Amino acid sequence: MNLRQVEVFRAVMTNGTTARASEVLRISQPAVSKAVAELERAVGFSLFHRVKGRLQPTAEGQLLFREVEQTFTGLAHLRGAAARIRDYGSGELRIGSLSALSTNVMPRALAAFMIRNPQVAVTFQAHMSSVVRDLVASGQFDLGLVADEIDKTGVEVRPFARYRAALAVPERHRLAGQEVVVPKDLHGEAFVALAPEDTTRREAEIVLTEAEARPRVVMETPYSTTVCAMVAVGIGVGLVDPLTAQPFVGRGLTLCAFEPALHFRTLLILPPHRPPSRILEDFIVELTRAAH
């Protein structure tokens, strides 16, 4: 059995006669009949009853035709995938992001990208930076946005964006009306802290220690959105990046400037030794625009 024989069989089944099949395939009618006979010998059963010069599918022929149709549907999908790869690269993007940028920068970038590239399938997941790093390093994801404390081995690293930290405080908190908050203002305050491995938290601890200010850590979380949610209901204050905090401002939370300046730094990571496709490069352009 070969693909050409199967194509001829399908043409006969679809068009009803060998004459019409020969016209569609642009081959002679004897060539059609020969291909059908060869296929019957290959599969070991009759595909057609020959009745007064006409072909009528046998039950076995009908069953085989169903399988052939499924195969040709798969081939059509394969041709479409090949066309997408030719024109757009992989035809799909698998993207991961730390939570802090998953509700602001990433949606804006994806919206702009998908308007220009509606044919590209996108998978997007938000995780802790360490998880995003592992997904990219293993080649499961094409791109990740992560905090700068990740293990940088096994991935291609590009600096992405830097955001100055602000202090999130409940709206009726004593610090809410203060234009600038300094470390000594936080002494004894209930504090919602980021995870100990977070670079910004470590820098904040140095600044607080130097000022002999000791806030009371009541909760730790790896997610800036969780810090904002906890501050909004009055559990404490916390250092956050302003982008993440925006949906909470005026809804139980307000932002104050914090001195000295601290920053959240993010990285764009890619799988190693894999040149980005054109669609991935296009998406990186949209990410860069969305971040500024």
Say what the pLDDT of residue 146 is: 96
Say what the pLDDT of residue 105 is: 94
255: β partners: 168
Residue 63, φ and ψ in degrees, nearest 5: -65, -45
23 and 38 share a domain? yes
CB contact set of 116 (below 8 Å; sequence gap of 6+):
282
Looking at 58, 87, 116, the residue that finishes a domain is 87
151 and 195 share a domain? no
Strands 92-98 and 143-147, bridge-based pairing: parallel
170: β partners: 253
177 and 157 share a domain? no
Beta-strand runs (E) in the chain: 48-51, 54-57, 92-98, 121-127, 143-147, 156-164, 166-170, 180-181, 190-194, 216-221, 238-240, 253-258, 263-270
Say what the pLDDT of residue 47 is: 92
Return the higher-pLDDT residue of 91 and 9: 9
115 and 177 share a domain? no
Average pLDDT over residues 194-217: 95
Confidence check: pLDDT of 87 > 80:
no
Strands 48-51 and 190-194, bridge-based pairing: unpaired
Domains of the chain: total: 3
77 and 104 share a domain? no
Q: In CATH, what number is assigned to the domain containing residue 14? A: 1.10.10.10
CB contact set of 285 (below 8 Å; sequence gap of 6+):
none
Q: In CATH, what number is assigned to the domain containing residue 227? A: 3.40.190.290
Angle at 143 between CA 139 and CA 145, to 5 degrees: 130
Say what the pLDDT of residue 119 is: 84
Q: Which structure tokens are listed for 276?
A: 């980005």
Q: Report residue 90's pLDDT band, with 50, 70 and 90 as the boundaries.
A: low
CB contact set of 134 (below 8 Å; sequence gap of 6+):
none
Average pLDDT over residues 187-210: 95
Share of the chain above pLDDT 90, in %: 72
151 and 170 share a domain? no
139 and 271 share a domain? yes
- Per-residue burial over 271-287, b if 16 or more Cβ lie within 10 Å, else e, is beeeebbebbebbbebb
Looking at 63, 87, 111, the residue that finishes a domain is 87
Structural domain harbouring 220: 166-261
14 and 83 share a domain? yes
188 and 256 share a domain? yes
d(CA 122, CA 50): 52
74 and 115 share a domain? no
d(CA 125, CA 130): 13
Q: Report residue 131's pLDDT band, with 50, 70 and 90 as the boundaries.
A: very high
> Model pTM greater than 0.85?
no
Say what the pLDDT of residue 186 is: 97
Say what the pLDDT of residue 83 is: 65
Average pLDDT over residues 3-7: 89
Among the ranges given (12-16, 171-175, 246-250), the one the predictor scored with the smallest mean pLDDT: 12-16
pLDDT tens readout for residues 40-54:
999 999 999 988 778
Among the ranges given (28-32, 67-71, 81-85), the one the predictor scored with the smallest mean pLDDT: 81-85
Helix axes 3-15, 18-25, angle to 10 degrees: 120
Classify residue 13 by its DSSP letter.
H
Q: Report residue 74's pLDDT band, with 50, 70 and 90 as the boundaries.
A: confident
Residue 124 burial by CB count (10 A; 0-12/13-18/19+): exposed, middle or buried?
middle
Looking at 65, 87, 109, the residue that finishes a domain is 87
49 and 72 share a domain? yes
Confidence check: pLDDT of 171 > 60:
yes
- Per-residue burial over 195-232, b if 16 or more Cβ lie within 10 Å, else e, is eeebbbbebbeebbeeeebebebeeebbbbbbbbbbbb
Confidence check: pLDDT of 89 > 60:
no
20 and 100 share a domain? no
Mean model confidence pLDDT for the chain: 91
Say what the pLDDT of residue 101 is: 93
